[in-house]
Amino acid sequence: MNSAVFPSRLIQGYRAFRKDRLPLEERRYRVLAEAGQRPQIMLVACCDSRAAPETIFDAAPGEMFVVRNVANLVPPHDPDGEFHGTSAAIEYGVMALRVRHIVVMGHGRCGGVSAYLSTKAGQAPLPGGDYIGRWISLLKPAEALACDDPAAEADRQRALEFASIRQAITNLKSFPKIAALEEIGEVELHGAWFDISAGDLWVLDQATGRFEVAAP
């Protein structure tokens, strides 16, 4: 018989939510429950517990549709009948929720990017793992982009984190519906990178292809 006890930290957090936050947003939750969600922004982010989008952007319930996976990757459009969790979520955000902005946000010290770089040194990305190695192989096209980055020699990890965001945006454009909506100005694609140690947000300048620190 399973004797697992629900984590006390979560119960404590829930009680704090009921006591402090819910009273301030009770009406918002009621409206969201009755009318449904209509977020304007979809954010593709990493699973990393240190870079939670709702916290970084101070988002209220219903403001952002968040898709998280290891290393904030976007696979290219490939309707082959297999299971595609990230692609399904992106499709839902675009076609059902009709989001206007899709933001791909990476972050510093990304474990997925680090694991990919370790494979270049002949190491296993996750010894004994069944899924991580194939998933992070999606970084291979970004690796070529990173090699063209002047910063790559000084900081391979950061260069690949930046390049993976650019590649994810390119892959988003491989989805016919997204490409069509972007063409007529109904969807905009954006890139961002969060520096965990400094708390800085870097935003991709689409014109130059470079990341610049957003004004605090």
Which residue ranges are tagged as binding site? 46, 48, 107, 110
- CA atoms of 48 and 72, how far apart (whole Å): 9
Superfamily of domain 37-213: Carbonic anhydrase (3.40.1050.10)
List, for residues 15-46, the tens digit of each pLDDT value: 999 999 999 999 999 999 999 999 999 999 99
**So where are the chain's domains?**
1-36, 37-213
CB 205 within 8 A of CB 212: yes
List, for residues 73-123, the tens digit of each pLDDT value: 999 999 999 999 999 999 999 999 999 999 999 999 999 999 999 998 889
Considering only residues 75 and 1, tell me which one the structure prediction assigns the higher pLDDT: 75
Which residue ranges are tagged as binding site for Zn(2+)? 46, 48, 107, 110
User: Residue 120 has what pLDDT?
Assistant: 85
Q: Which residues contact 166 (CB under 8 A, 6 or more apart)?
A: 142, 145, 191, 204, 209
- The pTM is what? 0.94
